[in-house]
Structure 1
């Protein structure tokens, strides 16, 4: 038995009106094939180019080790020069990923290589961010702290994306006071005997290739697995739904600070309590022993 995942709708082009009516208003994901075809980035951006233009930059790296109870929210696990990191990606599989790297701060000239799509939305133009990963590396299932609408453009290689909307929270083993599900769950091949509530979840799946764009509606859970080494860029807009905007403000102003305080004061006890409560709450909601 596997999870109930349907393929995300795929198209080759969308007008502003079509996007708003079919996907933005109903908050439904979509993939646009070769969406960056008119950008200089479509022809230029690959791992070799990034090594050439940003090789001397020191980048923060993340992997899949257990959270350090004393570390702050989203603290990186290591740092490395971009040139060395890309060499590593090409040499062998690695869990090290680059997460939320702001290209405008690091390499301002890269902003000339792409344009914000005209979908009738106001983009947060100060924070276009890049994400890199090696073969079989993955991000844990999570949703973004600001519940933004995300326009996720992929470059160089292939990655798998699995999405759930917030209506699926009761089935996903959400960790209290966080944006994560349990890190033990491999959403690309979950053990449904160990995590039986996932049998009740309904989500979406797709693979992205160079040039493709995935629209991730506001607040959607997303899991990303790199099939080959590659990278993506996310462009984002603030959530339009008042409920989601309020939740975003709460996450940034309250939740994140509470999490940092509890990690500092209780450390491992706090993390263990959250792990156990994620399981007990999910099983209780699903009438599981």
Structure 2
């Protein structure tokens, strides 16, 4: 299960399903030379099950969430209006392995003012169960029907918010559950590697970072990590209204190209 039960965790909080930030790149990559994640428009449950869930293959789903209220209602101003007074944990720093990485409690309004409007700062409202905190926002989303293909009950699905400025980065990592990542605001560049590529991705040897690669995906040190160059991958730019299916244990790297709000559904 995802590990994020304590809003007041320290820098040593276990990094399962964790992200870190790096405000060093804001350009959209040229995907012409990169193998693309396949796309399907509103596939039936049976087609999704046979083509992607059973073989555990990533796919971008289109047209599935077009009717969700969040797609027409959510904006930075709307989020400030609905949730501005609520206190949330904001992650500050470049990487969760850095000594200076920290977390601060602040209101959503202060977070937007300091880290969304002011683009020179690094801050991320990441992996937070905001929808349990603010029922009005939960009413604007739905659990994707495809989650019924899992073995778990609906009340075991973890729904998290990911809200941050352009340039936030999740380093290459893997998660212990299936993931539907729904893009509501902005775009994200995402690169995916099969679990079969693990030995070419140089996971950290420590137990705390075992689910995170040592490699900087977009600027790899091929002298230090020579096998990374031959690791096969797929990529996409996820845009508003699209869902990315990330199978369990699939390695994924994520970079926000704009101010971004995503919703993740972790399920088994």
Same fold (TM over 0.5): yes
1:128 is aligned to 2:155:
no
SS in 2 for 1:188: coil
Tell me the alpha carbon deviations over residues 49-98 of structure 1, each in whole angstroms, 9 at most, x when there is no partner. Answer: 211111112222223145267x9xxx953333211222331331443212
Query: Residue 106 of structure 1 aligns with which residue?
Result: 133
Answer with 151-160 or 190-199: which moved more: 190-199
Q: 2:211 aligns with which of 166, 179, 196?
A: 179
Matches within 5 A, 1:170-209: 170-176=199-205, 177=207, 178-182=210-214, 185-209=215-239
Tell me the alpha carbon deviations over residues 126-154 of structure 1, each in whole angstroms, 9 at most, x when there is no partner. Answer: 5210112211110111112xx11111101
Query: Residue 67 of structure 1 aligns with which residue?
Result: 97
Greater per-residue helix proportion: 1
Partners of 2:127 and 2:251 lie apart in 1 by 16
Asked whether the 8 Å contact 1:94–1:137 carries over to 2, the reply is no
1:48–1:35: structure 2 CA closer, same or farther, 3 Å change rule? farther
SS in 2 for 1:77: strand
Normalising to structure 1: TM-score of the pair?
Answer: 0.72
* Root mean square deviation of aligned Cα: 2.3
Instruction: Determine which structure has more spread, i.e. the larger CA radius of gyration.
Output: 1
1:48 is aligned to 2:77:
yes
Query: Residue 279 of structure 1 aligns with which residue?
Result: none
Partners of 1:35 and 1:46 lie apart in 2 by 20
Tell me the alpha carbon deviations over residues 243-264 of structure 1, each in whole angstroms, 9 at most, x when there is no partner. Answer: xxxxxxxxxxxxxxxxxxxxxx
Partners of 1:9 and 1:189 lie apart in 2 by 25
- What is the total number of aligned residue pairs between the two structures? 228
Normalising to structure 2: TM-score of the pair?
Answer: 0.77
